[in-house]
A and B are shown apart, each in its own frame.
Chain A
Amino acid sequence: MRRKIAATAVMMFLLFAAIISIPRTASAQIHIRVDKFSSEKFNIAVFPLFDVGRTKSPSVAKRIENRLNWCLDFTGLFRRINKEGFLEKPKPKGWKRENINFSDWMLLDALGLIKGWFKQSGKNVEFELILYDVFLQRALLSQRYSGKVEDVEKLVDEFANEMLKVLTGARGIFGTKIAFVRKVKGRRGWNKELFVVNLDGTGVRQLTRTGTPTLSPSWDKTGKRIVFTNFPPGHRNAAPYLLTFLTGGKVSIRPVKLFNYLANAPRFSPVDDRIAITLSRDGNEEIYIINTEGRLRRRITRNIAVDVSPSWSPDGNWLAFSSRRSGFNHIYKIRSSGVGRAIRLTYVGTDNGSPTWSPRGDLIAFSGQDRRKHGGKWNIFTMKPDGSELTRLTWASGDNEQPWFSPDGQYIVFSSNRRGRYELYIMRNDGTNQRPLSARGVPGQMPCWGPRTTTGGAE
């Protein structure tokens, strides 16, 4: 009876809350806004998983918990509540809603609570993770997973992605990969070669051993191919090459086409198989669109200055690029149909390059330097696609170059030499939560974040 009254009260409250909050979020449930800067972090408690099988296998529980904590910290949206302060003790069925004393968690200022159980049998593991809204006192997400023990991290990534979908409206990006180039010593001295790495810095894998400079990797929309710049044998100019991930961890590499002039910085379209590229036909760099066989589809720019580094808008209708037509390098955008003029987006700095369009379409990031200021250091900036709201994201931390957005547009991977050598770093798209890809550091440059469907790459 009492429960029924409580339930009715909750229902009433819910209805009321829903009504008064319609203009704001249209939902009473906790919603983390990711479209604007917020220093407020979402308090969350991760309760130790209950061992249902009593197999005394704390290592799996530890791995699930560690991965979950890593995912939460990666987002920069959460503050994890210290386990020491938990008032509740682990108990059987402790993950059930009716067995949770939510007021205890309110005392700890927790907004969210993750509970669950696991059962290990041999090489297999089964577990369930439940995300509770402490104030609504109900489960927002409940997911059950079973699989091999070695895949535990992948399964937790899956939960974290779902959880972000519930809390922010957009699925997370855990489980994606990043392609990049790294200087390695080869037969003829130092060269950059193509690599791929998991989001947590593990599984670094070298994809090319060409012995010539390898630059500007760009993933296609399926995550099965990478187009990049490489030098053909026989003292020839750089050309676009296409790498395809085959089954069994193998890759195949072929030139898209060997041009009789420089072909620089290819970029796969996010909607189809077109590649935007800079071709130095007649000794003048212009942006063109080619297909994967290297056939010219369209010339985009017409200007005597250097035009390089095209980047597609998410709908494929625009290209942002860097041009020296004003006397310095600045960012411009132009329709990928080739119709209409280039629109200038930046007016400050002297070397603005590597523009990259957010998959959400709300931002363009680029790296820029002013030879006359900042001691000539490179820094990462973002702006709206109309050039407004220019924001500097990196400050006094060495050179920061070559930004690339995550598939959800929430994060930016970039290359920084703030600790000496160039390493890969990740930050939120507002510049907060800057961190190296892994604590030990992943040396590399020109990172390119793969799509959610990435199949190939690191183990």
Chain B
Amino acid sequence: MRYSYNKVIIAVAVCALAAAACASRPTKAIKAAEQAILDARKVKAHECAPKPYEKAENLLLTAREDEKKRDYDSAAAHAVAARKMADLSIEAAVKNKDCRPGGSAGRVLDRMRQRVAESEEQKPAETEQTPTPQDKTAVLESIPEEYARSVLPGGEILKMIHFDFDSDKLTLGAIEILKKNAALLRKYPEVKITIEGHCDSRGSTEYNLALGYRRAERAKDFLIHLGIDPSRLNTVSYGEERPLDPRENEEAWAKNRRDEFVVE
């Protein structure tokens, strides 16, 4: 009995050491990937878009294996890629108009197709799919959840910028980040981005939507000033509707007042 206790204590100690030594376990990223794959199944992406769907599942499996091997960096990268691939499979399922599953999946698909048809701007189908992180060295660190949409083809991240309360002025810190982002955008001239403007929850909802737009436009103007082609820069405001941190305190508000740079 005493012996087995010792064993447990040793095991716990080893685990604690391992956790301290390595990067943190990417449970969140894997959960997100699992959810995305579940969502893809809901619209029958495994039938309508089997290729990307299978790729997503394989990526998730790799991520889980990596996690078992305690290679958390790699696991996070694969999980993020799996999520992106699952999202892509949904898009592909929507585009594959010949595929008409019955039941709720069919209805959901029809609705999504209708919405795509409604949009004026019919973008040509993307031929190139998001690169999977085959090259582990490219993904140097596990990508934080909030940057999953801001990864460039080489694995670099377009960092977000933050604003002062009720202000659309670019802070000195924001200007430094924008300069770095501009350099990255010059490195990948084919990449187009959407600048998302966000606000904290104070201020009225309708005012915040306007403020978020101004924040996105400010960053766009500055990137154009740094020589980035305006046709590569789209702006959209989500106002207070997409907080990074839903809490109501100074820390959360500061986090939520931001521009995100999303790679299209």
A residues in contact (CB < 8 Å) with B: 187, 191-192, 209-210, 213, 215-216, 229, 231-238, 254-255, 258, 261-262, 264-265, 278, 280, 283, 285, 306, 308-309, 322, 324, 329, 351, 353-354, 367, 371, 376, 401-402, 445-446
Flag B208-219 by CB within 8 Å of A: 1 or 0 each. 011101100100
- CA separation between A192 and B234, bound complex, in Å? 24
Contact for A235 among B116, B205, B234, CB less than 8 A: B234
User: Is the CB–CB distance between A351 and B211 below 8 Å?
Assistant: no
Contact for B210 among A236, A285, A376, A402, CB less than 8 A: A285
- CA separation between A367 and B205, bound complex, in Å? 11
User: Besides A280-B214, A354-B206, 19 other CB < 8 A contacts?
Assistant: A187-B39, A187-B42, A210-B115, A213-B238, A215-B209, A216-B205, A216-B206, A234-B119, A236-B236, A237-B237, A238-B237, A262-B237, A264-B206, A264-B209, A278-B210, A285-B213, A329-B204, A353-B206, A354-B204
* Count of CB-CB pairs between chains A and B under 8 Å: 111
User: Is the CB–CB distance between B118 and A232 below 8 Å?
Assistant: yes
User: Is the CB–CB distance between B235 and A237 below 8 Å?
Assistant: yes
- CA separation between A144 and B241, bound complex, in Å? 50
Contacts of A367 in B (CB 8 A): 204
Within 8 A of A (CB), among B192-223: 194, 202-207, 209-211, 213-214, 217, 221
Contact for B119 among A232, A308, A371, CB less than 8 A: A232
User: Is the CB–CB distance between B202 and A351 below 8 Å?
Assistant: yes
- CA separation between A216 and B235, bound complex, in Å? 21
19 contacts between A and B (CB under 8 A): A210-B115, A215-B241, A233-B116, A234-B121, A236-B236, A254-B118, A262-B209, A264-B209, A264-B213, A280-B217, A283-B217, A322-B204, A322-B207, A329-B203, A353-B203, A353-B206, A367-B204, A401-B204, A445-B205
Flag B100-128 by CB within 8 Å of A: 1 or 0 each. 00000000000110011011110100000
User: Is the CB–CB distance between B204 and A306 below 8 Å?
Assistant: no
Task: Report if A280-B241 is in contact (Cβ < 8 Å); known contacts: A254-B118, A258-B119.
Answer: no
Q: How far is the CB of B11 from chain A (nearest CB, A)?
A: 37
B233 contacts the other chain (Cβ, under 8 Å)?
Answer: no
Task: Report if A308-B206 is in contact (Cβ < 8 Å); known contacts: A236-B236, A283-B217.
Answer: yes
Contacts of A213 in B (CB 8 A): 238-239, 241-242
User: Is the CB–CB distance between B207 and A233 below 8 Å?
Assistant: no
Task: Report if A308-B123 is in contact (Cβ < 8 Å); known contacts: A237-B213, A254-B118.
Answer: no
User: Is the CB–CB distance between B237 and A306 below 8 Å?
Assistant: no
Contacts of A306 in B (CB 8 A): 207, 210-211, 214
B71 contacts the other chain (Cβ, under 8 Å)?
Answer: no
Q: How far is the CB of B97 from chain A (nearest CB, A)?
A: 15
Contacts of A258 in B (CB 8 A): 119-121
- CA separation between A306 and B235, bound complex, in Å? 17
- CA separation between A289 and B258, bound complex, in Å? 31
Number of interface residues of B (CB under 8 A): 35
Contacts of A285 in B (CB 8 A): 210, 213-214
Contacts of B236 in A (CB 8 A): 231, 235-237
Contacts of B234 in A (CB 8 A): 235-236
User: Is the CB–CB distance between A209 and B207 below 8 Å?
Assistant: no
Among A192, A213, A262, A376, the one with the most B-chain Cβ atoms within 10 Å of its Cβ is: A262
Contacts of A210 in B (CB 8 A): 115
User: Is the CB–CB distance between B204 and A264 below 8 Å?
Assistant: no
Contacts of A236 in B (CB 8 A): 119, 121, 234, 236
B141 contacts the other chain (Cβ, under 8 Å)?
Answer: no
Contact for B207 among A231, A262, A309, CB less than 8 A: A309
- CA separation between A332 and B209, bound complex, in Å? 19
Q: How far is the CB of A64 from chain B (nearest CB, A)?
A: 41
B264 contacts the other chain (Cβ, under 8 Å)?
Answer: yes
Contacts of B203 in A (CB 8 A): 329, 351, 353
Contacts of B120 in A (CB 8 A): 258
Residue ID in chain A nearest B218 by CB atoms: A283
- CA separation between A236 and B213, bound complex, in Å? 11
Residue ID in chain A nearest B194 by CB atoms: A235
B262 contacts the other chain (Cβ, under 8 Å)?
Answer: yes
User: Is the CB–CB distance between A376 and B211 below 8 Å?
Assistant: no
Contact for B118 among A191, A233, A376, CB less than 8 A: A233
Task: Report if A351-B204 is in contact (Cβ < 8 Å); known contacts: A192-B241, A262-B209, A306-B210.
Answer: yes
User: Is the CB–CB distance between B111 and A238 below 8 Å?
Assistant: no
Among B123, B202, B209, B264, the one with the most A-chain Cβ atoms within 10 Å of its Cβ is: B209
User: Is the CB–CB distance between B210 and A308 below 8 Å?
Assistant: yes
- CA separation between A191 and B202, bound complex, in Å? 18
Q: How far is the CB of B72 from chain A (nearest CB, A)?
A: 25
Q: How far is the CB of B130 from chain A (nearest CB, A)?
A: 15
Q: How far is the CB of A210 from chain B (nearest CB, A)?
A: 8
Contacts of B213 in A (CB 8 A): 237, 261-262, 264, 280, 283, 285
User: Is the CB–CB distance between A234 and B123 below 8 Å?
Assistant: yes
Flag B29-41 by CB within 8 Å of A: 1 or 0 each. 0000000000100
User: Is the CB–CB distance between A283 and B207 below 8 Å?
Assistant: no
Task: Report if A265-B121 is in contact (Cβ < 8 Å); known contacts: A187-B39, A233-B115, A235-B236.
Answer: no
Among B204, B214, B237, the one with the most A-chain Cβ atoms within 10 Å of its Cβ is: B204
Q: How far is the CB of B82 from chain A (nearest CB, A)?
A: 16
- CA separation between A254 and B120, bound complex, in Å? 12
- CA separation between A237 and B213, bound complex, in Å? 9
- CA separation between A445 and B116, bound complex, in Å? 28
The 10 closest A-B pairs by CB, nearest first: A353-B204, A213-B241, A262-B213, A265-B206, A283-B217, A285-B210, A306-B210, A309-B206, A235-B194, A308-B206
- CA separation between A280 and B213, bound complex, in Å? 8
Q: How far is the CB of A329 from chain B (nearest CB, A)?
A: 6
Contacts of B207 in A (CB 8 A): 306, 308-309, 322, 324, 329, 351, 353
Contacts of A401 in B (CB 8 A): 204
Flag B48-68 by CB within 8 Å of A: 1 or 0 each. 000000000000000000000
